[in-house]
Amino acid sequence: MSSKSRKKVLLMGKSGSGKTSMRAIIFKSQLAADTRRLGATIDVESSQIKFLGGLRLDLWDCGGQDSFMDSHLTAQSSTVFRSVHSLIYIFDAESPELLTSDTAYFLKCLRTLRDQNPPSTSSSGSSGEDGGPTVFVLLHKMDLVPVDMQASKLAEFEAEVTKKARESGYQGGLQFYGTSIWNETLYKAWSIVMSHLMPSLSSLRTHLSHFLSLSSASEVVLFERTTFLVISSVTNEQEVHDTEWDERRFERISTMVKAFKLGCSKIRSPFSSLVVSTQHYTAVLDSLTPETYILVIARGEIQPAAIELNIRLARPHFGKLEAIGMAR
Ligand SMILES: Nc1nc2c(ncn2[C@@H]2O[C@H](COP(=O)(O)OP(=O)(O)OP(=O)(O)O)[C@@H](O)[C@H]2O)c(=O)[nH]1
Ligand SMILES: [Mg+2]
């Protein structure tokens, strides 16, 4: 398998920050409440996740207890940090050591990441701003921060950590997101991570736009089948202006449909498709290719059967795109 289609992603952060919880929810469809039973990760748990377009994700969930962190950063540094495509670093928003020892560990990780993937020689699979691995920083457990303080907490944290990273000599980009397993912010951040891992998918938008106009839809969203992360979407901007749509609608749909799918599997009635039809809108969520679901939203006067027919007719075309590596 080529290095282009195989990407190593590190999940790091101190013990209890929520790494394994995220992994379980996004990739193993676990319920958020069930993560309370997770034990601490010993050393590293790596999993291979097959994605659409032949992409294989090597996800390394690195145990965050001090002894494991020290070992990742010293004895095992080349095994852990070499050939990394992206680092996802999780901070616990409520940690008393957020800007002290937690940040100090993060800076050590950045340094080791850079040492093991020097920008000039890391062209294969690396794509940070300066050619090194991309770094995502998640300020996690934001549900524990009062709602009116969440935005300012994230902004101050981002400013402070970026300043310290620059002072330590790190010149690459850092992308910050506030997340919680208890709401859709988790899906928002991970959808962005995924679209970064699969840049070829951006060309899919052209095909989705075509589908949107041919079927007179208001919005078309493509989801990855297992994780239900949003891969791509197109919207008829005119209609959104007219009706003020919720900005977080995609992530909310990911969260709701995943919970619904889980409910279906519990009663041994596998989820296949969903149709909602009201006076104002019609929504059809259906399988598009072996790896994706498509959600089509249209005005109320458009019949679900018409949308279902359009999806059926589009399947062979999108199936071919998927087979050749998602419109690479
Ligand atoms: N309130 C809140 N709790 C969370 C959130 N995410 C995870 N947790 C809880 O945090 C605890 C620790 O989570 P883990 O995922 O095991 O932490 P970890 O980072 O994998 O820890 P190590 O494996 O020791 O490195 C669990 O009880 C989770 O339920 C969140 O967004 N909000
Ligand atoms: Mg863990």
pLDDT in tens, 1-54: 455 678 999 999 999 999 999 999 988 878 888 889 999 999 999 998 877 667
Which portions of the chain are predicted below pLDDT 70? 1-4, 52-53, 120-131, 199-203, 240-243, 322-328
Domain with CATH 3.30.450.190 in the chain: 202-323
List the Cα angle 242/244/249 in 5-degree steps.
130
Structural contact between residues 170 and 281, judged by C-beta atoms closer than 8 angstroms: no
Q: How far apart are CA 320 and CA 207, in angstroms?
A: 12
- In this prediction, residue 175 carries a pLDDT of 95
Identify the residue whose tokens are 């995502």. 136
Q: How far apart are CA 238 and CA 235, in angstroms?
A: 9
Q: Give the relative orientation of helices 101-116 and 147-167 as an angle to the nearest 10 degrees.
A: 50
Going by CA atoms, what residue is nearest to atom 5 of ligand 1? 141
Closest CA to 89 of 122, 57, 111: 111
Question: Rounded to the nearest whole angstrom, what is the distance from the C-alpha of residue 289 to the centroid of ligand 1?
Answer: 34
- In this prediction, residue 57 carries a pLDDT of 87
Q: Supply 304's token pair.
A: 């679900």
Cα-based distances in Å from 187 to 148, 180, 288, 299: 21, 9, 21, 26
- In this prediction, residue 227 carries a pLDDT of 84
- In this prediction, residue 129 carries a pLDDT of 53
Question: CB under 6 Å to ligand 1: residues?
Answer: 13, 15-21, 35-36, 38, 40-41, 63-65, 140-141, 143-144, 180-182
- In this prediction, residue 312 carries a pLDDT of 94
Correct CATH for 6-197 of 3.40.50.720, 3.40.50.300, 3.60.9.10, 3.40.50.150: 3.40.50.300
How does DSSP classify residue 96? T
- In this prediction, residue 2 carries a pLDDT of 56
Q: How far apart are CA 147 and CA 111, in angstroms?
A: 34
Fold of the domain built from segment(s) 202-323: Beta-Lactamase (3.30.450)
What lies within 8 Å, CB to CB, of 227 at 6+ separation is 26, 27, 190, 194
What lies within 8 Å, CB to CB, of 54 at 6+ separation is 1, 5, 325
Domain with CATH 3.40.50.300 in the chain: 6-197
CB-based burial of residue 212 (10 Å sphere; 0-12 exposed, 13-18 middle, 19+ buried)?
Answer: buried
State the number of CA atoms in the 13 A half-sphere of 255 facing the CB: 18
Q: Which of 14, 26, 35 to mutate to test the pocket of ligand 1 (most atoms within 8 A of CB)?
A: 35
Residues by chain with Cβ below 5 Å of ion ligand 2 = 19-20, 41
Question: Rounded to the nearest whole angstrom, what is the distance from the C-alpha of residue 53 to the centroid of ligand 2?
Answer: 29
Question: Rounded to the nearest whole angstrom, what is the distance from the C-alpha of residue 61 to the centroid of ligand 2?
Answer: 7
Structural contact between residues 134 and 86, judged by C-beta atoms closer than 8 angstroms: yes
